[in-house]
Structure 1
């Protein structure tokens, strides 16, 4: 990867109004436009389709590698979407716009479900199919995904040392470090509870956000009170459940990842230096938004 991202600014497409679209439909008789000036189409230009579809470069002749390669790129796009949505949700919570945050969390859960579905496809690779191109990965591993690391950070799993793989890629490292040092969406939710009178310890509100989050019995009781006092129309109750939807979906992603790797490569070491399944099994035990899980035991 180069030290600076390439300039892929798409061409200006202009804008169209409902009136213009209705006029066009009357001209075409309701069918699609088939003729365009220039050397492209508006759809290619809007989605940068020609650029997107030029980025697939499998390293072997194995017919199964494109499945692995393209699904990996799909996951990266979805990680980017989840991260950007979580940053926006954090901002909504900071503005006390709880219904808007809940709505966006519901959509983010669906995106995470798509990510789980990626493993369902990759699980169709037989061990022999994966082995046909695995050596061509070298030391490349999904563990090195900086977009996934940023997703983990914005959800609150702050492990600073896991940013190290990106320290020599300036524009990537800057983004990863910003995610590491910024409040998580869970930090924003706790600050919102505190503004609404919940007993959230000061050290949970004013701290170094790059450090791992330490669960608190106070926070656990605060979430339990949300459930006891709330009802299905209460914004805090809806926020708690929407956060749990996202936390559960993220756990499902990890769990299906573990199962897929175990099915495809068994207990072989990973390409990126880990013990493979043993590493994934350990990290799959982590829970985002820990007191929301623990609060169930108080109800």
Structure 2
């Protein structure tokens, strides 16, 4: 019979303590505190052995002990540790554990930390679970909490990520609203004002992707009123050149405009994707005038 690992030995002790009855000289809170400590030790031992599912399960049991002992801060931390273990190959369990962490954090008014954990959930949905819709929801929720805590730069980053995902889902009006929200917030600071033209460019492309050159032109004119330097930027000129090609129903002109822009400013994956969507609308409906 193979010798029992240190981690398994600690887990057995933790379960024995958790299931034990309280005696004359001990209380339930003491029992759960001691069991929680043992589960934590077992979780760390399993992590050393690179048994991340087992580690996450032990941290989850620790969290349950902390909850039973009304140690809410420790419970939140235990759930977070469980999530970090589950991230090593078990994204669904990581999301569940982070959700439990957020419950404790929001109850205690720690919304900045809750936003950090919600952002982690968004990234798991995006990178591991490939669920763009849920990632978008989590980025927006995190952004709202960051904004409440006056962390505007981080909120803007989340809202911009949400806008990109709305566009990926063909939810172009929602994407435009988020880009404009981030642009409005960025206009007020000299440190972030430079980025506004990028948000307005993306907004303009979203309008074109939904076959609405009228909205695209109206929005670009309004952005020029908000920042008089914008119409002279490469971003604004690019959108207006695309508008001209679309109104002319000229696919070759459209491709030329895109190619010339890409030579100077390399198109990222998001812009390439949405420009392909716009091109398809031009293929399907050659005359949008």
TM-score by length of 2: 0.29
| Structure possessing the higher relative contact order (Cα contacts under 8 Å, 6 or more residues apart) | 1
TM-score by length of 1: 0.28
Higher percent of residues as helix? 2
